[in-house]
Amino acid sequence: MGLENRIARRVESQMFISFSVLNEMGSPMVGSMGLALNISRTGVMLENRNEIGINRRLALEVAVGDDTIKVKGIVKYSQAVEDNFHIGIHFLDLNPDEVALLEKYYPDI
């Protein structure tokens, strides 16, 4: 994903995120953990051993300090990198308080 496609500035991150792949009805199917490589107000780049297809919807739990943000996202990008996949996820339903929490812990986003 080139920088020209990004809406918001991303900053490096090294936090684990739990997520579930959602089915067409919005129910969780498969759960896993991934490493957030970078994060922004609008999304996250996740590293995971398993590929997740473009346009798949996810339910994510993002640990931010002592808080947890629960947010839905959609996969916009997926690329194999060595033994893992880098997966670009666009947040779908962050509210202003959650954005403010992200900005508190990641002021450069």
Helix, strand, coil percentages (3-state) for the chain, rounded to 5, are 10, 55, 30
Give the type of residue at 45. Answer: M
**Residue with structure tokens 């308080």?**
97
Q: Is 53 helix (H, G, I), strand (E, B) or coil?
A: coil
Contact residues for 103 (Cβ-Cβ < 8 A; gap 6+): 41, 109
Beta strand 67-81 with 84-91 is: antiparallel
Cβ(44)–Cβ(35) under 8 Å? Answer: no
Give the whole-angstrom CA distance, residue 109 versus residue 49: 26
* Number of structural domains the chain divides into: 1
| Domain with 58 in it | 3-105
Q: What is the pTM of this model?
A: 0.86
Q: How many CA atoms lie within 13 A of 109 on its CB side?
A: 22
**Which tens digit of pLDDT belongs to each residue from 35-90?**
999 999 899 999 999 999 999 999 999 988 888 999 999 999 999 999 999 999 99
Q: Say which DSSP state 31 is in.
A: E
pLDDT of residue 7: 60
pLDDT of residue 8: 63
The enclosing domain of 70 has a CATH number of: 2.40.10.220
